[in-house]
Amino acid sequence: MSARNTIILAAGKGTRMKSKLYKVLHRICGKSMVDHVLTQVSKLNMDNIVTVVGFGAEDVEKELGNRTKYVVQNQQLGTGDAVLRAEDLLKNSDGTTLVISGDTPLFKAKTLEKLFAYHADKQATATILTSVAPNPTGYGRIVRNDLGIVEKIVEEKDASSEERNIKEINTGVYVFNNQKLFKALHEINNDNAQGEYYLTDAIEILKRKGGIIAAYQMDDFDESMGVNNRVAQAAATKVMQRRINEYHMNNGVTIVNPDDTYIDVDIEIGPDTIIEPGVQLQKGTKIGRDCVIGANSKITGSIIHDGVTVTSSTIEDSEMMDGSNIGPNSHLRPQSLIGKYVHIGNFCEVKKATIGEGTKIGHLTYVGNATLGKDINVGCGVIFANYDGKNKHETKVGDDVFIGSNANLIAPLEIADHSFIAAGSTITDDIHQYDMAIARERQTNKPNYYQKLPFNGAD
């Protein structure tokens, strides 16, 4: 079986993005555009994948790692010149080579597989992946003769008014006979409006030499969407988001309003989970079965186990065990581990803390750098004071502890099992098992004080 190669074109700067970020690194649903392309290509069992980089080369290599080889196009001289940069790595291959752009994040592996199959079936020298565009502005047009055979590809800036009316467009994806591709690239010139070396000119050269030029027309134009500006990025994101949401719904997840639900790629969600409007599930998140993720919650890089309810809250790089719940309007900051059946109420914040099974943290409480045992009651307005201005300190709380409202726990601190902290106390010393700690000044009442005020409410 002949070798399969891919060349990903990712050297363009992308000035129309108006961004300091290299174009192909802009993200669609949690993954860079060029990573989307590489992910789909990698499903095709490629022998060689080469990414052509230019501007921002180091950032692209950091993003993609060793999943691909790299070559550099130092000057932006066009797509033909970019593909030629890969010659040294691929010139000895006798197989076929896919050429695809790094700013086309919506292509699916199965579409690319069909392109390879069509190319082989037609015994073609080059096969163009085409589509019918509702609005072909900005795309190269496919010019066919009366028999439907491809005559040429014409770029919009070089097209006549008649050619611009053609709706079948070049998606910028091709499969070539590898050896013949590089021979043709050495014969192209830059005699065009842009002064660039067009890869499409190599197709004309191959045709003149008697090569078979085929064109496979794909069904879904949306896949071919290229991203050159923020408007196109938003449109591509919408298409990807629809795909993702439909995938989860087809696997037993209820998404109340898919148009207002934002789920990144590679998110896992168990069946019978309900996702309410405005939810954002971001990269690295896993959601179990029978959960309810309430409206406008945002979960990033976290693991949510079965039967968890998240009500209008934010969770970052944390974990919630079975049957726990949080919110509304609470926040789990990184490295928080919430045990089974824990209740975290409204307006609470937890950071780098472990909360034991069955513990209840009602509302308006901050827990930072702490380990809490099982079945603890944490009252309203409790503060775990973990920072002394220079260092963070730990607080450890045992099982079955009662912490009264408005208590301040000044770390470092150890609070033993079955102890009791009176409301309004500021605790600075360790508490032993079965003890009650009270740390507040005794109340003093001043008789008749109100009547001595300059204004006491009397007429």
Q: Is 330 annotated as a binding residue?
A: no
406 has binding-site annotation: no
Residue 190 among known ligand-binding residues: no
First to last CA, the chain: 103
Cα separation, 291 vs 247, whole angstroms: 18
Query: Is 30 annotated as contributing to ligand binding?
Result: no
- What span, in angstroms and rounded, lies between the C-alpha atoms of 428 and 440? 12
Question: DSSP secondary-structure letter at 183?
Answer: H
Burial of 399 (0-12, 13-18, 19+ CB in 10 A): middle
Rg (CA), the chain: 31
DSSP 292-318: EE-TT-EEES-EE-TT-EE-S-EEES-
Q: Establish whether 448 is an annotated binding residue.
A: no
Residue 38 is assigned to a ligand binding site: no
386 marked as part of a ligand binding site: yes
Q: Is 449 annotated as a binding residue?
A: no
Q: Please check if 452 is assigned to a binding site.
A: no
Is 416 marked within a binding site? no
The reply to whether 174 sits in an annotated binding site is no
DSSP state letters, 387-408: B-SS-B--EEE-TT-EE-TT-E
Instruction: Tell me whether residue 10 is annotated as binding.
Output: yes
135 is in an annotated binding site: no
103 annotated ligand-binding residue: yes
209, two tokens: 């030499």
Taking the C-alpha atoms of residue 347 and residue 338, their distance in angstroms, rounded to an integer, is: 16
CA-CA-CA-CA dihedral for 336, 337, 341, 347, to nearest 10: 0
Structure-block tokens of residue 445: 């009442």
Q: Has 437 been labeled as part of a binding site? A: no
Is 372 among the annotated ligand-binding positions? Answer: no
Closest CA to 240 of 217, 209, 263: 263
Give the whole-angstrom CA distance, residue 412 versus residue 410.
Answer: 6
Distance CA 320, CA 74 (A): 49
Whether residue 26 lies in the annotated active site: no
Q: Is 371 annotated to bind ligand? A: no
The single-letter DSSP state of residue 56 is: B
**How many Å separate Cα 168 from the centre of its chain?**
32
- For residue 431, the 8-state DSSP code is B
Lookup: tokens for 131: 């589509």
CA dihedral 395, 401, 404, 410 (to 10 degrees): -10
Residue 333 is assigned to a ligand binding site: yes
389 in a known ligand binding site: no
Catalytic residue, from 119, 363, 418, 432: name it: 363
Please state the residue numbers annotated as binding site for Mg(2+).
103, 228
Residues making up the annotated binding site for UDP-N-acetyl-alpha-D-glucosamine are 9-12, 23, 73, 78-79, 101-103, 140, 155, 170, 228, 333, 351, 366, 377
Active-site residues, by number, are 363
Question: Can you say which residues are annotated as belonging to the binding site?
Answer: 9-12, 23, 73, 78-79, 101-103, 140, 155, 170, 228, 333, 351, 366, 377, 386-387, 405, 423, 440
| Residues placed in the known binding site for acetyl-CoA | 386-387, 405, 423, 440
